[in-house]
Amino acid sequence: MAEQPAGNTDVFEIMHTTRAMRRLRPDPVPDGLIRRILEAGSAAANGGNFQRWRFMVVKDPAIKLAVQRLYKRAYDETIGPRYRSAAPPPGVDAARYARQNAAVEYLTEHYHEAPVWIVACLDEGSSTPNRASGASIYPAVQNMLLAARALGLGSTLTTRHLLFEREAEAALGLPPGVHSYAILPIGYPMGRFGPVGRGDLRQMVFGDRWGESWDGLAAAGG
Ligand SMILES: Cc1cc2nc3c(=O)[nH]c(=O)nc-3n(C[C@H](O)[C@H](O)[C@H](O)COP(=O)(O)O)c2cc1C
């Protein structure tokens, strides 16, 4: 798929071009656009429609910097060495993987400079988080990423702050029982939107029995 212009509403094009946009301009983003992103998030599926999600819109430079320090420490101590020694993922060649790693490093240094963050949280009270918890917040997160893309804004789903969860959530001022599941740094992208790199569906899809190919892929011209 060719590079796509910003400001698009075709849902399939949006999905195929919502890639991690890690190089963001510091220019302010109008609150009206952030509101539209939040509305898209709150339209998502969630368990029992209990809507235990809470979204913090963070612009305060001191809060962002405090979390960025933890985000960078997690990169320096754990994530960076792991990424540098990993093989490129499916559908991504070595050159693209090197560009991805450079962008990851860039975001690590500039995380706090994104003009707006949306911190996606769940108010879980005393219940223990499980897979259903994540399933009740990440659809909202994905809706927000798609909405940002549709509005010409860049973002990335980030969770690395969770390596220092307690300290990061204290810096964010979350009350007891509320946990963060993702931070979306949002801003106007420096670069252009383009297609995501993913592997071959035939490696991921089985029909009827695990490991068996699904003939629908061939029938659909795949
Ligand atoms: C659970 C999860 C956590 C992620 N955490 C981070 C993160 O902390 N920092 C980051 O730069 N990207 C993060 N990402 C983005 C992935 O690295 C990105 O989706 C992947 O490399 C594919 O990139 P693309 O969508 O641009 O093709 C995360 C993605 C997911 C789904």
Q: 3-state class of 96 per DSSP?
A: helix
Q: What is residue 152's DSSP assignment?
A: T
Q: Which fold has domain 11-219?
A: NADH Oxidase (3.40.109)
Q: How many residues does the chain have?
A: 222
The structure tokens listed for 93 are 């060649």
CA of 208 to the centre of ligand 1 (A): 31
| Tens digit of each residue's pLDDT, the chain (222 residues) | 445 455 578 999 999 999 999 999 999 999 999 999 999 999 999 999 999 999 999 999 999 999 999 999 999 999 989 988 899 998 889 998 999 999 999 999 999 999 999 999 999 988 888 888 999 999 999 999 999 999 999 999 999 999 999 999 999 999 999 999 999 999 999 999 999 999 999 999 999 999 999 999 986 554
The structure tokens listed for 198 are 């993913």
User: Domain coordinates of the chain in residue numbers?
Assistant: 11-219
Q: Which residues line ligand 1 at a C-beta cut-off of 6 Å? A: 19-20, 22, 100, 104, 107, 156-160, 196-197
CA of 22 to the centre of ligand 1 (A): 10
Q: What is the pLDDT of residue 218?
A: 81
Asked if 97 and 88 count as a contact pair (C-beta separation under 8 A), the reply is: yes
CA of 159 to the centre of ligand 1 (A): 8
Asked if 182 and 192 count as a contact pair (C-beta separation under 8 A), the reply is: no
Q: Could you report how far apart the first and last alpha carbons of the chain are, in Å?
A: 15
CB within 8 A of 72, min separation 6: which ones?
Answer: 108, 109, 111
Q: What is residue 43's DSSP assignment?
A: T
Atom 10, ligand 1: which residue's CA is nearest? 158
pTM of the entire predicted model:
0.94
